[in-house]
Amino acid sequence: MEGLVPVQRLSIKVASPSLYRCNNSVSIRRSISGFAMDRKRNFRAPSQFSIRAQQSDLKESLAVSSSSVEDKGNVLRIKEWEVEMYQEELAISQGIRIRRKPPSKAPLGYSGPFELRLHNNDADSPRNILEEITWYKDVEVSRMKELNPLDVLKKAVEDAPPTRDFVGALRMAHKRTGFPGLIAEVKKASPSRGILKENFDPVEIAQAYEKGGAACLSVLTDQKYFQGGFENLEAIRSAGVKCPLLCKEFVVDPWQIYYARTKGADAVLLIAAVLTDLEITFLLKICKKLSLAALVEVHDEREMGRVLGIEGIELVGINNRSLETFEVDISNTKKLLEGEHGRQIRERDMIVVGESGLFTPDDIAYVQAAGVKAVLVGESIVKQNDPEKGIAGLFGRNISHT
């Protein structure tokens, strides 16, 4: 018949003719491809061959079904991979050099717009410490999300105590002392400096900082690279320290914002070198919903320009440490606050936080003259036997409330 798949005709003799009164032959029409198209039997009783034929057809049908599922799965993998590639392209277009994940090969059968730039001489290993941390965070957060589902965190947030005013505390400290408000960092170690304090008691350090005049505290929660932890954040909050707390974490997922809130954070860090403008905007909305402040950190002029184009930012941190070389240059703060950027910041009454490389009263005076109203300091005070005296030494005088 025209249009049908070509068929083969098989003729099989039944082994036991006494069972049937017919001529004991069977005629089966099957397509070459293996799918049953039609069957013509000239007897009523089933033969051993017909049962086996039906079993064979069932197996072939299941195999085809399984193949179809695998095909759909590969299509999904291709789409997910393409989404990651589009996100990477968006980040590159915004000058973001930090890759969020290790380079990956396209799924089998991929053909599309990224075909020509697959593994465009990209290194399979991290190009700097921030990229290494970012890659690790992606894996770590995936594991933590399984243990602490977002729905559970949202319920925990509803029962959490109210946050303290992080931005307000910095403004009050600046007004009270005439110096930039101090965000004192509770930090045991860093990738560049190693162990900063052997006998590390986060609560004791936090209490000393508060007594020494710190307006707010920054608590490192990364365990692998900074030997911190969310348990430190919880312990400091539970100990009755009144200073608002910044959760110093490398945020790559909205889940981390909710988790930080449940652990006692009043503010979180968002790094422009890692996050796209759209991601920062979305995370800011979550922060606002959870009554959290957000310190958005920049390293260069391009990142500063991006951040100033995003609505709703009150705190901008300027990190004086190079991502590529890890060298510190506090003149970076002055450079980023000159010209149009500085004018916009003053008009919008934003608080600029100077970060990294601040060790002496001259350093504080330099960044304050450049336009900062707050400073984030860790190493130069946490290494002191008496952090309270370390703060006085940093500013050149006692800035405590007493």
Whether 338 is a known active-site residue: answer no
β-pairing, 374-377 vs 351-355, is parallel
Catalytic residue among 88, 131, 249, 355: 355
* 366, 348 Cβ separation under 8 angstroms: no
> 180: Cβ–Cβ under 8 A, 6 or more apart, which residues?
174, 354, 364, 367, 368, 372, 373, 374, 375
Q: Clarify whether 204 is annotated catalytic.
A: no
236 contacts: CB under 8 Å, gap ≥ 6: 186, 202, 203, 206, 217, 219, 245, 264
d(CA 234, CA 219): 10
Contact 296, 274 (CB under 8 A): no
The one catalytic residue among 88, 140, 279, 297: 297
Whether 42 is a known active-site residue: answer: no
Q: Is 198 a catalytic residue?
A: no
Q: What angle do CA 150, 153, 155 make, to 5 degrees?
A: 115
Which of 47, 88, 137, 187 is flagged as catalytic? 187
| Widest CA span in the chain | 115
Catalytic annotation, pick one of 190, 320, 332, 356: 356
Catalytic entry in 185, 210, 234, 279: 185
Verify whether residue 356 is a known catalytic residue: yes
Task: Point out the catalytic residue in the list 319, 320, 332, 380.
Answer: 319
Q: What is the DSSP string of 83-103?
A: HHHHHHHHHHHTT----SS--
320 is catalytic: no
Of 137, 188, 197, 248, which one is the catalytic site residue? 248
121 is catalytic: no
DSSP letter assigned to residue 225: T
Catalytic machinery residues: 185, 187, 248, 297, 319, 355-356
